[in-house]
A and B are shown apart, each in its own frame.
Chain A
Amino acid sequence: MTTLLIILGGAILTYLTRIGGHLVLSRFENVPPRVEAALDAVPAAVLTTLVAPELLSAGPAEIIALVAAGLVAFKRGMLEMFLTGAVVLIVLRQFMG
């Protein structure tokens, strides 16, 4: 029973985070330029924090895979980039452990 309540409590609060930002922002009639600039920076800012700390614990195989994938991303699309990173990682791990 407690487990069920924890799951449902977590689900409700998670939904509030997903709808809450919009509910707060939509109360403003005009979005000031600074807020606009801040919101435009959200994807790069948040997504970077999901990658960067991985570097702290990454070995050479992981770092080379990220660099290779990052370079491919300049010229190619998301799928090519992702596959490059995955293949480089798997191959290097066979040799580097």
Chain B
Amino acid sequence: MSEVNAKREFWRGARAGVPIIVAVVPFGLLFGALAVDNGLSLVQAVLMSATIFGGASQMVGIELFGQKISPLLIVFSIFAVNFRHVLYSAAIGRHFARWPSLKQAVAFFLLTDPQYAEAERKVEETGKVGFAWYLGMGLALYLTWVAESFLGALFGGLISNPEALGLDFLLPIYFLGLVMEFRKRPLWLPVVLASGAASMLAYKFVGSPWHVSLGALVGIALAASMPAKRQTASDLAMTTERSEP
């Protein structure tokens, strides 16, 4: 890819990240505010966002910091909340295979929920995902996330009534939008119904965050039990080769 092309793709990726950034802003600010509230310093709050870069797990982490819980258990809880990334990694990693190792290593660091979903959507539309586009989106999400944590930690507590603005419910709406984007995939409806029901049951009877992994596994197992006719990986690879500029 030429340099001009790469630059254009990078900014396209960054622009595609804008709706996600809008949806995530309240959570970034909230994390910063809560982190300081739970006894972290501003530097520690920002460091957590910069190194872990996973909102839900960071929230769980600072929640536990406030209580008298063993450090190993806190680390394990962060790991448990983030375990779903193993699935993302296996699924989208197939489309990174042609990139140099260093680019792959960077790409996996940036692999968050929305990043994964948007990358899959890109593959759905064009048959592949390019590193420049991926990095543009990933860096946009990463830098704004770190900046929001900083601002939240600095000015926490200034938003007096976040519920009136709907801030607490923007992410579910956003995730629903992503679920809808995949409605043309084979077995979409059965997978959504199975995962939805299983995650609600697990949420009630096992508890958070296990409902994510358990619910997802039920839907995935359903799909694996009835493999549909579809493009094979080698078909996809051929498409990729043809569309390479």
Cα distance, A8 to B71, chains bound together (Å): 11
Q: Closest CB-CB distance, A84 to chain B, in whole Å?
A: 9
* Residues of the A chain whose Cβ atoms lie less than 8 Å from the Cβ of B104: 22
Give the distance to chain A from B53, nearest Cβ to Cβ, in Å.
7
User: What B residues does A34 contact at CB under 8 A?
Assistant: 224-225, 227
A60 close to chain B: CB less than 8 A: no
Residues of B within 8 A of A90 (CB): 164-166
Given contacts A20-B86, A82-B23, contact A10 B166 (CB under 8 A): no
How far apart are the CA atoms of A89 and B97 in the complex, in Å? 41
* Number of chain B residues close to chain A: CB under 8 A: 96
Report chain A residues within 8 Å CB of B78: 9-10, 13-14
Give the contacts of A74-94 with B (CB-CB under 8 A). Answer: 74, 78-79, 81-82, 85-86, 89-90, 93-94
Query: Given that A11-B51, A49-B199, A78-B19 are known contacts, is A38 also in contact with B113, CB under 8 Å in the complex?
Result: no
Say if the beta carbon of B188 comes within 8 Å of chain A: yes
Contacts of B94 in A (CB 8 A): 22, 25, 31, 39
Residues of A10-24 contacting chain B, CB below 8 A? 10-11, 13-15, 17-24
In the assembled complex, how far is the CB of residue A52 from the closest CB belonging to chain B, in whole angstroms? Answer: 4
Give B231 Cβ to nearest chain A Cβ, in Å. 9
A39 (CB) vs chain B CBs: closest residue: B91
Is the pair A43, B182 in contact by a Cβ cutoff of 8 Å?
yes
How far apart sit A39 and B221, CA to CA, in the bound complex (Å)?
A: 10
CA A40 to CA B120, docked complex, whole Å? 9
Within B63-111, the residues touching A (CB, 8 Å) are 65, 71, 74-75, 78-79, 82-94, 96-97, 104-105, 108-109, 111
A33 CB contacts on chain B under 8 angstroms: 227, 232
| Complex contact A93–B93 (CB within 8 A) | no
B48 within 8 A of A: yes
Residues of chain A from 36 to 62 with CB closer than 8 A to chain B in the complex = 36-56, 58, 62
Q: Number of A residues contacting the other chain (C-beta, 8 Å)?
A: 66
Residue B178, interface by CB 8 Å? yes
Shortest beta-carbon distance, A28 to chain B, in Å? 10
Contacts A8-B51, A14-B79, A36-B232; A65 near B177 (Cβ below 8 A): no
How far apart sit A62 and B188, CA to CA, in the bound complex (Å)? 24
Shortest distance in angstroms between A25's beta carbon and chain B's nearest beta carbon?
4
Residue B4 is within 8 A (CB to CB) of chain A in the complex: no
Q: Do B163 and A93 have beta carbons less than 8 Å apart?
A: yes
When the two chains form their complex, are residues B85 and A78 in contact, meaning their CB atoms are under 8 A apart? Answer: no
B interface residues (Cβ-Cβ under 8 A, vs A): 19, 22-23, 40, 44, 47-48, 51-54, 57, 61, 65, 71, 74-75, 78-79, 82-94, 96-97, 104-105, 108-109, 111, 113, 116-117, 120, 163-166, 169-182, 185-188, 191-192, 194-200, 203-204, 208, 211-212, 215-228, 230, 232-233
A-B contact pairs, 14 of them (CB 8 A): A3-B44, A8-B51, A14-B52, A22-B92, A22-B108, A34-B224, A35-B224, A38-B223, A45-B191, A45-B194, A49-B196, A65-B173, A82-B170, A94-B164
Could you tell me which A residues sit within 8 Å of B by CB distance?
2-11, 13-15, 17-26, 31, 33-56, 58, 62, 65-66, 69-70, 73-74, 78-79, 81-82, 85-86, 89-90, 93-94
